[in-house]
Amino acid sequence: MDELLKKISNGEDSFTQFKVNITNVDKLAGEFVAFSNAKGGWLIVGVDDNSKVIGVNSDDIKRLNQLIGNVINSNVIPPIYPLVKIENIEDKKIVVIQIDEGVNKPYSTNGGIYLTKAGSDKRKISPQELRRLFAESKNLYPDEEIVHDSTIDDINISKLKKFLNNDNIEILNKLNKNELKLVTLLNNLELLRDKHLTLAGTLLFAENPQRFKPSFYVDCCYFDGNDISVTKFISKKTLKGTFDELYEDSMRFIISQLRTYQVEEDFNSNGELEIQKEVLTELIVNALVHRDYYINSSIKIFMFHNRIEIISPGKLTNSLTVEKIKNGIAVQRNPILSSICKNLLPYTGYGSGIKRVLKINPNVEFINDADMEQFKSIIYRKKLGDKLGDKLGDKFLKLSANRQLIIKYMSQKSSITISKLSEIIGISTTSIENNIKYLKENKFLKRVGSAKDGSWEILDEI
């Protein structure tokens, strides 16, 4: 009873719906279908939209019980079995109908309408969502589906042979000697079916995958700020190609924008990348292999001054949660891609990737956004010289990367020259001079002594 009272006082949401009364069979069927296709919930009859208990009389209860029985037997496909209770609140009777999340999704009305919850209301299920629900109910996987416009002629033979050279050299030799037909090999690998490439075959080995699946690319953008709403970007690319190309180009895009840090005392020692390559590798491969290919959307790599976001279409599949994947539990959404990518990309397929990421960088954040149908990995960027950043404050972090680098190297070697800064940062001496002028005018640093024998001083307060 306490739970019921709490639900009524909290008002309507995705799991709780109020009705003063119900007389329409189709409307009741729609409510049952929406709850069953979502996460289940409570339909409470005898309460108005403002959480006021109105109650229903004995005749209404008798009629409602008959109506509910008719609906679940004839108006919801496949049938559902809700729990119906009569409760007494404030000396008024209400009917509480508990509908579980369906185990045989998707559900529809007998008129063929598929609905799901949308906040406290309901909405029609989109064709993409419906397709995915049907596939899941039949234990089909998106990477098994046929790409109807494709043929065996669309296979890039050199890419396929490169894969076979790593995966099974004996099969490659048989293919080269014509002891094994290409069509047989592709069918055995589930890359070809009924003379058409499967989605896995298209994404992994087609000459131009985006010709058949234009939404399956990687969208990269480096925003000039810490929010997607900024009006400028530093770099932007649309990456297309097969999986190996998407992986390599994604890594190249990110790494080319990252900073390196001096980790040894020697000024000329090799720098260390601000985000470990192993972390980026695991998360990019994870996005390619495990995204939801029933959603026609791109993978997004968004870079900001303070973080990188890798966004995969589709929430975690089945019963997976963020905590479960952190513990190495894996459920294959795309088993063909997962199997073949073990010898195509730096990928093990054992569900250990996220655990490795967190071992290297425990601060990586994962967000399973069920409402937006996306899974997001967030890698926070190392502050350029953490101690220096702490000393100089937030204004320092808003500087451009080149200006931060100038301050960093000056703090490490106060006598550093403009020509040396130009060499290690990789911009012209004129650009160095212009940036130094800005930093001096805005009181980030000052020159002490002569131009020849003096030194740079980083100001304590900015």
Q: What pLDDT, on the 0 to 100 scale, is given for residue 127?
A: 82
Q: What pLDDT, on the 0 to 100 scale, is given for residue 268?
A: 59
Q: What pLDDT, on the 0 to 100 scale, is given for residue 297?
A: 93
Q: What is the mean pLDDT of the chain?
A: 88
Higher pLDDT, 364 or 350: 364
386-458 carries CATH number 1.10.10.10: yes
pLDDT band at 20 (very low <50, low <70, confident <90, very high): very high
Q: For residue 293, how many C-alpha atoms fall within 13 Å in the half-sphere facing its CB?
A: 27
Q: Is 90 exceeded by the pLDDT of residue 388?
A: no
User: What is the arithmetic mean of pLDDT over 15-33?
Assistant: 93
Domain boundaries, the chain: 2-125, 142-212, 218-380, 386-458
pLDDT band at 337 (very low <50, low <70, confident <90, very high): very high
The fold of 2-125 is 3.30.950
What is the per-residue pLDDT across 247-271, written as a single tens digit (0 to 9) for each?
999 999 999 988 876 555 555 556 6
Q: Where is average pLDDT lowest: 156-160, 190-194, 231-235, 319-323?
A: 319-323
Contact (CB, 8 A) for 221 and 310 = no
Q: What pLDDT, on the 0 to 100 scale, is given for residue 202?
A: 98
Q: What pLDDT, on the 0 to 100 scale, is given for residue 172?
A: 95
- The CATH class, in words, for 218-380 is alpha beta
Q: Is 70 exceeded by the pLDDT of residue 175?
A: yes
Q: What pLDDT, on the 0 to 100 scale, is given for residue 393?
A: 54
User: What is the arithmetic mean of pLDDT over 173-199?
Assistant: 95
Residue % of the chain over a pLDDT of 70: 92
Q: What pLDDT, on the 0 to 100 scale, is given for residue 353?
A: 86
Contact (CB, 8 A) for 139 and 132 = no
Q: Is 50 exceeded by the pLDDT of residue 462?
A: no
What is the per-residue pLDDT across 364-386, written as a single tens digit (0 to 9) for each?
999 999 888 899 999 998 765 55
Higher pLDDT, 381 or 169: 169
Q: Is 80 exceeded by the pLDDT of residue 285?
A: yes
pTM for the model stands at 0.61
Q: Is 60 exceeded by the pLDDT of residue 98?
A: yes
